[in-house]
Structure 1
Amino acid sequence: MTYPPPKALLRLPPSRNKRVRSGIAAIRLLLRKALLQEAAVQLQQLQQHEPANVEIALLQAELLTLGGDHDRSCQLLKQILSRHPGLVPALVLSARAHTAAQRHLDALDALQLAHQLTPQDHDIAKQLAETLVLLRCPSKAIAVLAPLVRKSKSPADIAQLAGLHDKAGNLEECLAGYDSIRPPIPDIHVLKAGALLVRGKKSDARAAVDDAILAAPDNASLRLFVAKNFADDFDPARQAQEIDTILASPGASTLSAEDRARLGFALGLAHERNGDFAKAFRAVEEANSHAKPECFTKDQQLEKVALGIAEHFTKARLAQLAPAGNASQKPVFVTGLPRSGTTLVEQMIASHPDAASVGELELIPALKQSLVSLQSSDIKRCAQAWLDAVPESKTDKARIVDKSISTVLHTGLAMLMFPRARFVFVRRHPMDIYWSAYREMFGMNALTFTYATQPLVRHIQLSEHLMSVWQQRFPDRVLTVKYEDIVNDPERHIRSMIAHTGLDWSDDCLEFHKSNSDVRTASMAQVREPVYKSSVGKWQAYHSQLAPVATALADLIANYEKAPA
């Protein structure tokens, strides 16, 4: 039986005690100013006057969340909601605490009920949409956001909705949304070109690029987009000269660090295509200095967690927990280091008539905190969240390929969710990995370890270690392939990969470059071409500049080069 939601309760009756009311107002001001110690003292005093006051309890929960004690905050809010199930402020605060604790499925529950109770609340709707996007449910996010965008008509909201249509596979709605923005926002033509190129519509994307060149020839996003995806269409020497002119212009002083990084990476690619490797290396070094985050604490924490997962989820432990997982054989996790060839492998498998790809889903990091509880209900729910993220048009396929780079770090969690899933690890020469990743602009908040030598070297070493651990532990579930072997003998290795997934052979897999599936990675232009070998050994053009890196990776290089195909 389905019960109706509780009646919305937007606020509670204020305290009859004037001193308590003024104290509550004062504490709210302290919390807004992040003066947590002062707020805690005053809260304690107020609780002595009215220990059952729900407003005070809400302030206590907010204080706990701001102080990082998310578990106690969620427990307190659970108690409040058990007495006042329709109290919207408690639901919103509960979602905030769960989000801060990275328990996004619990945050989703709270936000869905809050939105159901107050569908006109713009802030709640936006929070719900953001959570749905985080959980890779763009179509559901569109349903929440679209009514608000029709009312607001804000260019930023329209662009956000158009981007969601892009992710949901609605190209016409995406392009119509971008075209409706007046006046056009920066990067609009690049966004359109990207949406087209994702779907292999290169000629249409080129037309959008031409529009962009006319509208904003100095745009940094455009310069990098062209350098990465349309390099053959433009003279590299001229491109390098034009970028140098932009960087030397009086307006360059107002460029953001991100735009300087974009222009630098684009310049490096232009010099490389022109055969001037010394200038290319200097440009890439300069670009990384602008893209480089101030610290890599987050990356170091991720590495620590990854080692902990590998240590905890032994073969025996995963066998013990297997009944809590989902028995589906649909998931195929393709992973490896960035720029290792994972997109190529993904397309080869997904070109099978009984397979489809969801691209870089990158959902496990959002589910991680729920999974580590090791509660059967949490494991089942996380596995279902992964399955729910598969677009409806692909749910009938026998295999779904998830090409997430982060799976290298979270292999144990993927195995926890899906005890019958298959994994394909893609390896590549460590120096080609290093240079290809180091010269790439992934985004200011993505793969930050690639923007400096030491973190990138450390991540290569860590990932190689983790891949070896899981390969040795689960040789029946993990297939390791080498990029160089694939490009040298594609049919042999494609057959091996298809057999590993449990599918019968299809000649369609040899025509992977003709696939019409979406590709959103840095390789989205390259995988539309047949297999080529020009990327093998590309780092050798920078042999002298990269000598210190080669020394740091010497053991990995020696092991890789002597390993059999």
Structure 2
Amino acid sequence: MAAAPTNREATWAQAQRLREDGRIEAAADAVIALWQQVRNDRAGALATIEFLKECGAHQRAFPVARDARTRWPHDARIAAEAGEIALALGHFDEAAVALREAIDLDPKQGAAWLRLAYCRRFVEDDADVQRFRGGWSDPGLDEAARICAGFALGKALDDLGDCRQAAQVLTQANARARRTANWHIETWQRFVDAQLNAPALPTLPPDPTFTPIFVVGMPRSGTTLVASTLARRTEVRDRGELNWIPALHALLREQGQLRNPQALAAIAGVIRAQMRRDDAPARFYLDKNPLNFRYLDFIAACFPNAKIVHCRRSARDTALSIWMQHFAHEDLGFAYDFAAIAEVGKGCDALMTHWRARLPLAILDVDYERFVAEPQAQRHRLDEFLDLPTRKDNEVADNNAQSITTASVWQVRQPVYTHAVERWRGYAPYLPELTALFPEPA
């Protein structure tokens, strides 16, 4: 096969079809088998790594990335890919080494700056902090990489407790990021109004063999904490942050087919296949894309037996945490402006109130502050909501094999902590928007 390009093309075409059908393990097997025959092909190695990442198969990508890094030790992109995969799997030291190499070889590897900052909590002004300072102040760095370096530096300064400097750096980094974001408050307001006033969608019969869980809420409200807690149960398969719900909702809307039961059934079959996949079966399948709160009517139409876990957190802490992150997806373009964050928060509250009144979905609210204060009690609530056997109080579950690709990748693998509660207070003197735009409830 190594000597036959047409066979390689056929293998890739087959792998794409398998992935589209939800046969992720089979697709991974196909591309890895091909890679093993052409391991000296750099482009083939990168294509394999990218494909496996897109499938959420980070465990399968890990040895490929390690091998590629050994073969091409001076390749910045391969080092960045290897670091990203190691980080997602919780191999923090290995990730940090690879990401430093990527940055040193090519400072324009923008995402590597961010991911290096996620590898640990900084406790002193170490070499990585100086590396971030250098990138942020380098006028020769391209705008995208410089923005990433700024957010990395802001995260490190926050770890060090320097709220004043963190606020200064992040104010500038957010201003730069805002200029590149294609997100508009007016568009969001029109969307929310349309959802609030839309007629009901037809409801498909529930599939008793498939029960999805959707963890929703504002970003940075504890969705990764809740999802990782649920993923530790053998009855739950965590599929990460999927984009199938918004993408397929948009497809049906554009085609004028949202209220066509046959079209809904076909789309539900696609989503079901992508969540179920071809690994070991489970009782529940979890999608933790927080912005799925926008489409609970669509979810209820396709999967009336779905379970919804709605994460909530102090508006000020949520806003600050969102504003401190650099997000890749355009749907999160509101993250760089406090006024936009406030508007999305209002829309989230309005939609969740509307869905509760209108939809028969099972919805459980989980408050971040209560979860970190009494984690075992909140785990019991989740178990009861899903009708799962209650865990023992001293039960410790290992989630090292779970891949996590959000900014919470390090935090979620630590014991539950409370120091992020009311973190906004340290920033209030430097960010007056926190108190002006996000009034605390009486």
TM-score, with structure 2 as normaliser = 0.83
Per-residue deviation, 1:389: 1.2
Per-residue deviation, 1:547: 2.3
Match of 1:467 in 2: 352
- Inter-partner Cα distance in structure 2 for 1:405 and 1:509: 30
**AA at the equivalent of 2:153:** L
- Inter-partner Cα distance in structure 2 for 1:277 and 1:410: 36
Greater displacement, 258-267 / 505-514 = 505-514
Q: What SS does the corresponding residue of 1:158 show, helix, strand or coil? A: helix
- Pick closer, same or farther for the CA change 1:178–1:364 going to 2, 3 Å: farther
Partner of residue 533 from structure 1, selected from 409, 415, 418? 418
Runs of 4+ in 1 over 6 A off after TM superposition: 121-137, 143-154
Partner of residue 323 from structure 1, selected from 185, 204, 208? 204
Partner of residue 352 from structure 1, selected from 233, 236, 240? 233
Q: What SS does the corresponding residue of 1:332 show, helix, strand or coil? A: strand
CA contact (8 A) 1:162 1:177 kept: no
Q: Are 2:129 and 1:244 aligned?
A: no
- Stretches of structure 2 lacking an aligned partner (at least 5 in a row): none
The residue correspondences of 1:369-388 to structure 2 (distance < 5 A) are: 369-372=250-253, 373=257, 374-388=259-273
Partner of residue 430 from structure 1, selected from 305, 315, 336? 315
- Inter-partner Cα distance in structure 1 for 2:78 and 2:277: 29
**AA at the equivalent of 1:267:** L
Partner of residue 175 from structure 1, selected from 65, 71, 81? 65
The residue correspondences of 1:107-126 to structure 2 (distance < 5 A) are: 120=6
Per-residue deviation, 1:275: 2.7
Highest CA radius of gyration, 1 or 2?
Answer: 1
Q: Are 2:172 and 1:286 aligned?
A: yes
- Inter-partner Cα distance in structure 1 for 2:26 and 2:246: 20
Q: Report Cα offsets for 1:164-221 as digits up to 9, x if no partner.
A: 2242241345325643774754342232122122223334434534655765688654
Match of 2:98 in 1: 208
Q: Are 2:148 and 1:262 aligned?
A: yes
- Inter-partner Cα distance in structure 2 for 1:444 and 1:492: 34
The residue correspondences of 1:55-454 to structure 2 (distance < 5 A) are: 120=6, 155-156=42-43, 158-166=45-53, 167-168=56-57, 169-176=59-66, 178-179=68-69, 182=72, 184-209=74-99, 211-212=101-102, 215=105, 220-232=110-122, 235-236=124-125, 238-248=127-137, 252-294=138-180, 296-297=182-183, 300-301=186-187, 304-312=190-198, 317=200, 321-323=202-204, 326-372=207-253, 373=257, 374-390=259-275, 392=277, 394-443=279-328, 445=330, 447-454=332-339
Match of 1:9 in 2: none
Per-residue deviation, 1:548: 2.8
TM-score, with structure 1 as normaliser = 0.67
CA contact (8 A) 2:167 2:431 kept: no
**AA at the equivalent of 2:80:** V
Per-residue deviation, 1:397: 0.7
Per-residue deviation, 1:243: 3.0
**AA at the equivalent of 1:332:** I
Q: What SS does the corresponding residue of 1:401 show, helix, strand or coil? A: strand
Per-residue deviation, 1:402: 1.0
Q: What SS does the corresponding residue of 2:380 show, helix, strand or coil? A: helix
Greater displacement, 211-220 / 534-543 = 211-220
- Stretches of structure 1 lacking an aligned partner (at least 5 in a row): 1-118
- Inter-partner Cα distance in structure 1 for 2:270 and 2:390: 30
Q: Report Cα offsets for 1:109-167 as digits up to 9, x if no partner.
A: xxxxxxxxxx9599999899789878977557668877998889874553232122242
- Inter-partner Cα distance in structure 1 for 2:64 and 2:160: 36
Q: What SS does the corresponding residue of 1:231 show, helix, strand or coil? A: coil
Per-residue deviation, 1:282: 1.1
- Pick closer, same or farther for the CA change 1:300–1:406 going to 2, 3 Å: farther
- Inter-partner Cα distance in structure 1 for 2:349 and 2:225: 19
Q: Percent identity?
A: 22
- Inter-partner Cα distance in structure 1 for 2:92 and 2:262: 45
Match of 1:107 in 2: none
Greater relative contact order: 1 or 2 (C-alpha under 8 angstroms, separation 6 or more)? Answer: 2
- Inter-partner Cα distance in structure 2 for 1:142 and 1:329: 24
RMSD: 3.6
CA contact (8 A) 2:135 2:146 kept: no
The alignment covers a number of residue pairs equal to 430
CA contact (8 A) 2:174 2:337 kept: yes
- Inter-partner Cα distance in structure 2 for 1:123 and 1:325: 39
Q: What SS does the corresponding residue of 1:229 show, helix, strand or coil? A: coil
